[in-house]
Structure 1
Amino acid sequence: MVVTLDNTKRNAIAIKLADMKLLQQLLIDNENLFLDECTDEAVADMIQAMLDDDHKNQGILDTMVIQYGIHKDAEQTVVEMVQKTRQLMQSEELSFFDKVFQHELLKHQQVMNGMTIHKAAQKVGVDVIAALSNLNTLNFENRAHQEQLKGIIEILGVRELTGQDVDQGIWARVQDAIAAISGVFGSAFTQTSENQDMSIQDFMRMDHNKINLLFTELLQSDDPEKIQEYFAQIDHDLSAHVGAEEEIVYPRVRHFYGEANTQKLSDEHTHWSLLFEELRSIDPNLPEFKERIKQIWDEIGNHFHQEETAMFTAIHNNMNSQETHELTKQFKTVKARIQQQMGGLETEVNTVNV
C-alpha cells in the first residue's frame, strides 16, 4: 500500500521562510538606496550598520533554509508586494522620510514572520526547532532596527515639517528601547559573522545533530503517521547530506585524511542506501521496523563520530579557516541543489507494502 506523506505544516513553514528571504533581499536593496540618498552623516552611519547586519542575516537565513531542507517559492501576494515596494522605493513618488517609514513597516513584517515561524516550529517537531534555532537572532536584529528606524523617522519627519533638528537625546532613547527588547530576544542573541563564515565542521555537525534528533523522535513515537513522517525526513536530510559530502568534502580531504579512511566512510554511505531501501518495504507498525531503525542509527552514529573526531581533526590540521569557510559555501550550494532536485516531502512515499 502506498501511503501519502502529509507534510502540510512543514511545507507551510518552508513557504514562510521563502517569504522572509524575499523580504530580506528587499531590505538590503532599500538600505543601499538609502545610503545613496541620505545626506546626514549620523543617519547614514546607522543605515550602513543595518545593512551590514542584514547581509549577515541573509547568510543566516540561507543556512536555515538549507538546514530545514525544504525549498519552496514565496507566496504570490508577497512577490507582488515586494515588486510594488521596490518600484516605489526607486521612484520619486515618495520622499526620503516616506521611504524610511515604509522600510520600518517591512522590518515589522519580517519580525512577525520570524516570530510566527518560531512558534509554528514548536508545534511541528524538535528537528524543525533545531534547524531554525537562529530565528531569534534575526528577530532581535529586526526589532533593534525598528527602534533605530523610529529614531531616524523622527529626525527626518521633524526636518521635513519644520526645517529644524530634533532634540539630540533621541539616540539615547533609541538605545534604551533596544536594551528593553533585549529582555525578550537577548538570551538567544548571538549575532556574529560566524553564521556567514561557518566552518565545514560546524555545518556538518549541525546536520548530524538534526538527523540524530529525528531518529530520537521516531523511536519515541507510537504514532504510525508520525513515524512515517520522521522516517521520510531522515531519508530526505541524510540523502542531501551524504550527496554533498561525496561531491564536495570527501574529494577535498582524501589526500590528507587517507584513501582507506575516506573510502570506508563512502562505503558506509552505500550500505545505508541499501538498508533504507529495505526499510521502505517494512510496515512501520511492526516491531521489526523500529528494531531496524535502531541498528541503522547505531551505524550512522558511529559514522558521525568518526567524522567529528578523526576527520574533523584532520581538516583542522590541514586546512586554514578561509579554506574551511570556502568548503562550507561549496557544501551548502551542492546540498541546496540536491534538496531542490529531490523536491519537498509532499510526494508519495512507499513506506508500507501490504
Structure 2
Amino acid sequence: MVSSLDDTKRKAIATKLADIKLIQQLLIENEQLFLRESSDSEISDRFRKILEDDQKNLGILETVIVQYGNPGQPKDTVQQMVDKVRQLMQGSELTFFEKVFQHELLKHQQVMSGLLVHKAAQKVGADVMAAIGPLNTINFENRAHQEQLKGVVEVLGVRELTGQDADQGIWARVQDAIAAFSGVVGSAVTQGTDKQDMNIQDVIRLDHNKVNVLFAEIAKSNDPQKLQEYFGQLYKDLTAHAEAEEEVVYPRARAFYGQDDTQELYDEQAEMKRLLDEIKAIDPSSSQFKDRIKNLATIVMDHVRQEESTLFAAIRNNLSSDQSEQWATEFKAAKSKIQQRLAKETQGSAR
C-alpha cells in the first residue's frame, strides 16, 4: 500500500523556501523604510528600483512555493532573527549606514539560500527542479542587488566616518559589475519569468509541466521507495490542482466554454481522482502499480491537451489580461489552502 508522502528532503526544502519568503518580506519592509529615511536622491532611486524588483520577486516566490506543493513553516530561529532585525530597523539604535549594512547581509543570505535550494533540488528530483525553476530569476536579481548595495554601503559609510562624499567612481564600478553579471548569466535564465503577474494559463501550464515530469520519473524508476515518493507528490499535486480548478476556473469558464465541454473536464478529473485513490492502495513493487499509472497518465494527458488547446483559447478570447491574472491569483490562493489541508490530513493519518 502506498502511504502518504513523508520525505524528509522535500520537507527540508519546504522549510527553506518558507525561510526565504520570510526574509523576502523583511527586505521589502526595510526598503520601504529606507525610502522614508533617505535624503539622497540617487540612493533613493536605487532603493526604489530594488524595492520594485523585490515586490515582483515575492510574487514569483509565492508561485514557486505553490508549485512545489509541500507547505512549510519558517524555522523558529529564522523567525526570531527576523523579529530582532525588524525591531532594530524600526528603532533608532542603528544609524542609516548601519541599517543598510545589515540589509546587504540579508541580501547575501537570500542569495545563498536560493542557490542552496537549487542545488538541493538537483539531488531530490526532476519534479522539484521543475517547480523551483523560477527561483533563478530571484537569485540573479538578488546578486545584482548585492552589487548595488555594496556601493550604497560605501557611500554612506564614508559619509558617516569622514563627513565627506565618497569617490563617485563607486557607482560606475557597481554598474559595470551589474552589467557584466547580468550579461553573462541573467538574461538567458530569467527570460520569460520576469513578469510580476502570471495569467491563469501560465499557472495551469506550470502544473501540467510538473506532473509530466513526475510521470516520466515514475516510468523510468524501479525503486519502490522512489516510486512511493514520486507518486506521493503526484497524488498531492493532481489533487490540489483539480480542486483549485473546480473551485476557481471551471464554474466561471462554463459561461463561455459551454456546458458540455466544461462537464467533460469535471468528468475527466473525477476519473483521475478515482484512479489516484485506487493506485494509492497498490504496492509500488507490484506490476499493477505501473499499469495503473499508465492509465492515469493517459487520462491526465488527454485532459491537459483539452485544457491547453480549447479551454485556453476560450479564456484568451473572453477574458482581459487583468481578469486572467486575477484568476491566476485566486487559483494559487485556493491551491495553497488545499495543500495546507492535505498536509494536515497527512499529519493526522500518520499519528
Please tell me the TM-score bracket, short chain as reference. over 0.9
Letter matched to residue 191 of structure 2: T
Paired residues of 2:69 and 2:339 also in contact (CA < 8 A): yes
Rounded to whole Å, the distance in 1 between the matches of 2:150 and 2:204 is 40
SS in 1 for 2:168: coil
Is the CA contact (8 Å cut-off) linking 2:159 and 2:165 kept in structure 1? yes
Q: CA deviation at 1:5?
A: 4.1
Name 1:341's counterpart in structure 2: 341
1:151 aligns with 2:157: no
Partner of 1:261: 261
State the secondary structure of the residue aligned to 2:197.
coil
Offset at residue 55 of structure 1 (A): 0.1
Equivalent-residue separation in structure 2 for 1:154 and 1:58 (angstroms) = 27
Task: Structure 1: give runs of 5+ residues left out of the alignment.
Answer: none
CA distance in 1, matches of 2:304, 2:344: 25
Q: Which has the higher contact order (CA 8 A, sep 6+)?
A: 1
How many residues were matched structurally? 349
**Amino-acid identity (%):** 56
**Residues in 1 aligned to 2:286 and 2:35: alpha-carbon distance in whole angstroms:** 63
| 1:129-187 Cα distance to aligned partner (Å, 9 max, x none) | 00000111111111111110110111111111111111222211001111333335453
Distance 1:249 1:310, change over 3 A: same
Judge conservation of contact 1:71–1:344 (CA < 8 Å) in 2: no
Aligned to 1:220: 220
Alignment partner, residue 129 of structure 1:
129
Q: Find the aligned partners of 2:3 and 2:47 in 1 and give their Cα distance.
A: 52
Tell me, in whole angstroms, the C-alpha distance in 2 between the residues paired with 1:256 and 1:35. Answer: 46
Partner of 1:237: 237
Instruction: Assess, with a 3 A threshold, how the Cα gap between structure 1 residues 4 and 71 changes in structure 2: closer, same or farther.
Output: closer
Matched position secondary structure for 1:222: coil
Q: Name the SS of the counterpart of 2:141 in structure 1.
A: helix
CA-CA distance at 1:226 after TM superposition: 0.5
CA deviation after TM superposition for structure 1 residue 255, in Å: 0.8
1:188 equivalent to 2:195? Answer no
The 3 A distance-change label for structure 1 pair 5 and 23 is same
Q: Which moved more, 1:337-346 or 1:152-161?
A: 337-346
Deviation at 1:348, TM superposition (A): 8.6
- Paired residues of 1:11 and 1:344 also in contact (CA < 8 A): no
- SS of the equivalent of 1:253 reads helix
State the Cα deviation string for residues 79-110 of structure 1 (Å, max 9, x = none).
00000000000111000000000000000000
- Check if 1:207 corresponds to 2:207: yes
Q: Which residue of 2 aligns with 1:101?
A: 101
CA RMSD of aligned residues (A): 1.7
Question: Letter of the aligned partner of 1:277 in structure 2?
Answer: D
TM-score (normalizing by structure 1): 0.95
- Please list, as runs of the form range in 1=range in 2, the aligned pairs for 1:1-354 lying within 5 A after superposition: 3=3, 5-182=5-182, 183-190=184-191, 194=195, 196-343=196-343, 347=347
Deviation per residue, 1:104-132 (Å, 9 max, x gap): 00000000100000000000011100000
Tell me, which stretches of 5 or more residues in structure 2 are unaligned? none
CA distance in 2 between partners of 1:315 and 1:3 (Å)? 38
Shift of 1:346: 6.5
Task: Detail structure 1 runs of 4+ shifted over 6 Å in the superposition.
Answer: none
